[in-house]
Every structure is written in C-alpha cells, then in structure tokens.
Amino acid sequence: MARKKQTPTQQKENFIQEQPITQTLEQNYMPYAMSVIVSRAIPEIDGFKPSHRKLLYTMYHMGLLRGDRTKSTNVVGQTMKLNPHGDAAIYETLVRLTEGNGALLTPFVDSKGNFGKQYSRDMAYAASRYTEVKLADICQEVFADIEKNTVDFVDNYDGSMQEPVLLPTTFPNILANPNIGIAVGMASSICSFNLAELCEATAAYIKDHTISLCDVLPAPDFSTGGQLIYNRKELEQIYSTGRGSLKLRAKYRFDEKQHCIEIFEIPYTTNIESIIDKIISLVKSGKIRDITDVRDETDLNGLKITIDVKKGTNPDLLMHKLYALTPLADSFSCNFNVLIDGHPMTLGIGGILEHWTTFRIHAIRRQLTFDIEKKSEKYHLLQGLAEILLDIDKAIAIIRNTEQEKMVVPNLMAGFSIDEVQAEYIGEMKLRNINKEYILKRTAEMQILEKEIAEYRSILENETKIRNLICRQLKSVAKKYGKPRLTEIVQEEEIATPTKEDFIEDYGVRLFLTKQNYFKKIPLISLRFAADQKLKEEDTILQEIETTNRSDILFFSNQCNVYKMHISDIADTKASAMGEYLQNLLGMDAEEKIIYMTTTVDYSGFLVFFFENGKGVKVQLSAYATKTNRRKLVNAYASRSPLIFMQKLEEDTDFVLLRNYDKATVLHTSLLPSTTTKNAAGVQLFTLKKNSMVTQVIPASGFVTDDLEYYRTQKIPTAGHFIQEKDKQNNQIPGQMEL
C-alpha cells in the first residue's frame, strides 16, 4: 500500500520540535561562550592570549630568536599549523606584537617595514609579503628554559605537533603590556607598567607582601607616552581591586614664532584622526574661535598634530578647553580579568603577582627537576667511566676478546660491576678516547656535577631560595631590558583647574530686546558689516545692551518673574535674522512678556523700581544670584502696585518722577534704602492725593529743563513741584489729566 503524501503543514509540524530554552542554551550557547572566554579573549597568567602564544612559539620554533628576519608571510603560514584561522587574523595579531606598530610597551617582535601605528586609525599596515620580522631580544626571557620541561605541552588541533600551554616568562608579562579583550559576558582591560619598575616592584613584593604597591610601583606606563594624572586614592583602588579608571592626557608645546600648538604625545586610548575630527567639529560649531587650522604632521620623526591659533591666544587655556572637549584627555578603564587554571578571576596587582609567583615557582621547580635528572644521568655515566680508570687494559681486553658484538655490554657489566647504561656508554666510546688522560678529564667533572646537583636539590627543597632566584632573575631583566618610562606622572593637585567661565569664549556681543518679545544676540564683529536690524512687522527695539559673551542675562517679566541665563548658552545670530522668540527660549506662560533685561558678570550694583503708588525700592543685584543654576525666580519684584519703571545702576543717580503729568520731583536714589529682599514694597517717595499716581519716570539726563534743581527734593516723601509750561513743551508732557 502506497504511503500517503504529507501536506506542507504536516511536514512543518514534524520538523519543528519543542525544546526547553535552558537546555538549548546549555547545549549550544554555553560551549561557545566558554570557548571565547577560555580560548580567545581573556589573557592567562603568562600575559598572552592563545593567538599571541601560538604565533610567538611558531617564531621560536622557526629559529627566529637568534636568526635573521624572515618575511611576515612565512611566519603567518607556519602559524597556521597551530592556529587554524585565516591569514588576515594571524597577521593582524603579528602586527600588534611588533615594535613598529607601537601598541606594546614591551614589544616582542623586531620588525622591518610599515606596520601602521597604534595612534593612527587610518595609517594601514603593509601586506605581509612586504614586511619582515624576528623575535625581539626580550623573548629570551619569554622562552627561558622552555626546553627543560618548565611548562606543559599539548597536541595541536590535528595532532601533528605540540605547543606549550603557557610560556615560562621570567617577568610578569601580564602587567608589562596593555591587554584588552571582550569575551561573552565579561571583558578584560589591563594597563601596562614600565618593565624596570615592574620587575623591581615584583621583587620587593615577593620579599615582603605587606608593602604598599603604590610606593614601589609608581603608576602605569603606556607606549604612546602622554601624561597620567596621578590620584593616589584611585590608583590604590585599581591596585587592590583590579577595577578603576586612569586619567590620561596629551603633551604639547607652543611655538611662539609660528603661533601654533604642537601635540606630540596623546593618550593610549585615542588616535590622531578622532582628535582632529573633534577639533574641526568644535571650530565649525563656534564653540572654539581661537583655532585657524589643524593638521596632521606625523612623519618619520613621530607623531605631531599642529594647531594654528590666532595672535593673542592663551595656549594653556586653549589646551584646557581642548582637554575638556576632545579626546586629547581620555581615560583608561581597568578591569583586570585573568584566566587562572582555566578560571576567570578579577584580581588586583597583588593578586596577579601572587599567582604569577606561584606559576613561576612551579616552572622553576620543573626546570630544576629536569636539570637534576639530566646531570644525575651524566654523573651516573661518569661513574661507570671511573671504574674503567682502574684497569683500562682489562676493558680493552674484554672488548677485544669478546667474539659476539651483543656480548660486549654484558661482559663489561660483569667485568667492572657496572649497569647496562654505563656499559653501553663505555662500549660506544671511540678507541682514541680510551686513554688515561681523557678518562681523568671526564671523571674530574664528577665533582662539579656533585656540587651542582646538591645545589639544585637544596634550592628545589627550599621555597625561599626559589623566591630569591626569581628576584635575581627579575633584577637581571630590569637591568638588561629596562627603559625610562614614557608616560609622565603629573600630580592632580599640581594641575591648574580652569573655571567654567574660562571655557566660555570671550567676545563682545550686542543684545536686542523687541516690543514683541524677540531677542537677538549678535557678535560685535558681525555688526560691522550689517547695522540694519530685521524686525517683525510693526515691531520695534525696546532695549539694547552691549556686553560680553561671559555675562549672565536677567529677563524681567510683567508677571514679577525673572529668567536667568548664561549669554554663552544662547546661540549667536545675525542682524538679518529676527532672533529668538522669548516664550520659546525661556518657557514663559502664554500671556507673559519680558519688559526689561539687564546683564551682569559679578552681580554687583543694584536695581531701582518705581511703582504707580508713588513708592520706590532699591534692590541689590546680588539678591538675584543663586548657588544653583536656577533659570526662573518668582516674586522678582513687588506686585502690590503696577511697575512704572526699573533700571540697573552701578552707582546712585537722579531720576525725575512725574505725577499725573502736573507735578514732578527730582530724586537722587541715595535717598532710597537698600535691601536684599527682591519683592520689597519699598518706601513712599511721592505724596499722592486721591486718584493721583506716578505716571512716568525719566532719568534726569533725559529731562530737558533750564533749572533742574527747581524740582529737587532733599527728603522723602515729597509733594513735588508743578511742572513749568516751558518744561512741558520741551519734554512733550501732555496737559493735566482728567481725574
């Protein structure tokens, strides 16, 4: 019977099988995650990731520790026997390890050719067929005694050869070079330390675990130099926990003749292109006005970013601005995740040194055991040779009189009471060496071997002696390979911290307030070319102030509110634009309008307010200064009577107050008591009759009269003086108001 054909829906149902998500993750995702953590991204205690270790061991296996350089492509091809990845990935790994690239503080590969630069994003390295490499001299310490069973070896991916699990570095390489890796669910970011300082500090720590590492290990060091802002508290946190952040910044010099700043060292975490892009962006946006040009002048002499500046520019202040706004100042985030016996751990400097010391002790013990075994084997052979010395003729006779070759060794064993290994060694000796002189020379080595074996055993059995040996090796490495530190240490308290005001561009501006509540901020340099102001139809300029970009501005509204802003926070505009609508800029209510504006730098001076009810008040401008950056203050002035006039003054002056356009008085503001209460009602200035009011206030300089003193009052309140007809005409004062 033929099987019934399934429909597509039935086929899909049979194909899809339900499976618990936890089981799927455990079977499929977890092996991948662990592989990335253990076999790819996180460095081990020798300071290498698997890709680095495979590459360097391949070069060691090729004899590139002492031989001449070879083409990089040759190294890449040979590394594929251990690292089954593409040639591009292997070559990229090789590039980072080279001296030419500059990524490592202590590079492992001596290079020739273009390997790009750590500090450049766009400087590409040459193809592997054009470059040449060999192992750097420091690799003698990386592979020290590796042939003496100091570390374990395992089969490569196809079992055709063996590779080391770790490399027996004689110095804590894990801290000698920066190491950054991103795994699954965790990351590692280890800063580098100067090799000489690190070796000395490690030796001191091995001898005394109670020392403060900050005292013996000054600070991290980076291959790109720059300056490290030293903060003892932050450094102690990194040293103890393995987590924290380091502040780095570029180094510069100022060329007075060329009016330019030359940046010659930058933070390790950034690059030339990012810095230049950010500076150009700041100049285009108008946030920095002192820079006329910026360019990359990096050449064979090293890194150099040149910034041309305007004459009169303070280079130190400009650099402080660039430090704050660009990657010229950056941070290195530390996260010391290290693989210890296949387990990821977050360790401080002390913890890393402790594990490295344990690793190094184990390697030295294996090396000593290997040396003892080899020397003991040699000593054992020489013991047999010494037995022959007693009767050389007998040995020759035994060999000559033995008819069968296979019986030579047994006959020597029987004739001299030696074992098979010794007899085999004697039987293989050349005839010319069977003489007393040769045998005496060889047997004399037994005393040296006995002494060496005894010394090795005494070290092997005493951990203190092993630690002392490690310290001697560390000091030897520091002396032989140590170099001056590249990153300058700058104490945080020695850095002059600029104020927020210093970062604001200081240039002249003119401010315009219109009757329909439009506002303009125009740089004075722009007004030279366009004096005509564009306004909305039927709009007029209500107020105009000339000040600087570093000032604060206060907007007073008809609802007794004041709005405060930094002028630098308001965008520049042009005379041909209508400007900002204040309701949008300040977030005012729909019916609220700005009636007056004033500017200040230090909140000195005072405001005078004159009200319709004849009262006046003098409020210190400092009353409007707030510790917090509040943008709106309510009850900015008294609301009991309509406001007729207000003005900011630096010193007392005269004003003319008009009552119903029939009487006037000249009042000196010194008569007003000063207050810091913003909404104070003030004191009575003008004596008013029923239904009378103050209708106008005019600065005395704007009141045209032949006899100003006629109207002056020496005390308050005052009834004022009738306005003379001539003064009414001169000042266009209307006639008596009907009450």
**Active-site residues: which are they?**
130
Whole-number Cα distances in Å, 516 to 511, 542, 581: 15, 9, 9
Give the number of other Cβ atoms within 10 Å of residue 273's Cβ.
14
Residue 495, φ and ψ in degrees, nearest 5: -85, 125
Q: Residue 557 — left, alpha, or beta (φ > 0 → left; ψ -120 to 50 → alpha)?
A: beta
Structure tokens at 601: 């730098």
Give the number of other Cβ atoms within 10 Å of residue 185's Cβ.
9
Strands 674-675 and 615-620: parallel
Whole-number Cα distances in Å, 562 to 568, 577, 587, 596, 649: 18, 25, 12, 10, 17
| 463-481 vs 436-460: helix crossing angle, rounded to 10 | 100
What amino acid occupies position 475?
A: K
What is the Cα–Cα distance from 436 to 268, expressed in whole angstroms? Answer: 67
What is the Cα–Cα distance from 108 to 46, expressed in whole angstroms? Answer: 13
Structure tokens at 93: 């790994």
What is the Cα–Cα distance from 432 to 234, expressed in whole angstroms? Answer: 73
What is the Cα–Cα distance from 383 to 449, expressed in whole angstroms? Answer: 11
Alpha helices in 97-251 (DSSP H): 139-142, 173-176, 195-207, 213-216, 232-241
Strands 606-611 and 615-620: antiparallel
267 CB-side CA count, 13 A: 20
Whole-number Cα distances in Å, 86 to 31, 70, 282, 347: 22, 20, 42, 33
Structure tokens at 421: 């290994």
Structure tokens at 371: 């040396």
* DSSP assignment string, 673-720: PEES-TT---EE-B---TT--EEEEEEGGG---S-GGGGB-SSSSB--
Please give the DSSP secondary-structure letter assigned to residue 6.
Answer: P
What is the Cα–Cα distance from 604 to 622, expressed in whole angstroms? Answer: 6
On whether the CB atoms of residues 357 and 467 are closer than 8 A, the answer is yes
Residue whose C-alpha is closest to residue 264's, from 119, 57, 124: 119
Structure tokens at 424: 């085999």
Give the number of other Cβ atoms within 10 Å of residue 9's Cβ.
8
On whether the CB atoms of residues 254 and 315 are closer than 8 A, the answer is yes
Question: Order of strands across the sheet with 580-581?
Answer: 541-548, 508-514, 518-523, 580-581
Q: Which residue bears the tokens 């366009």?
A: 530
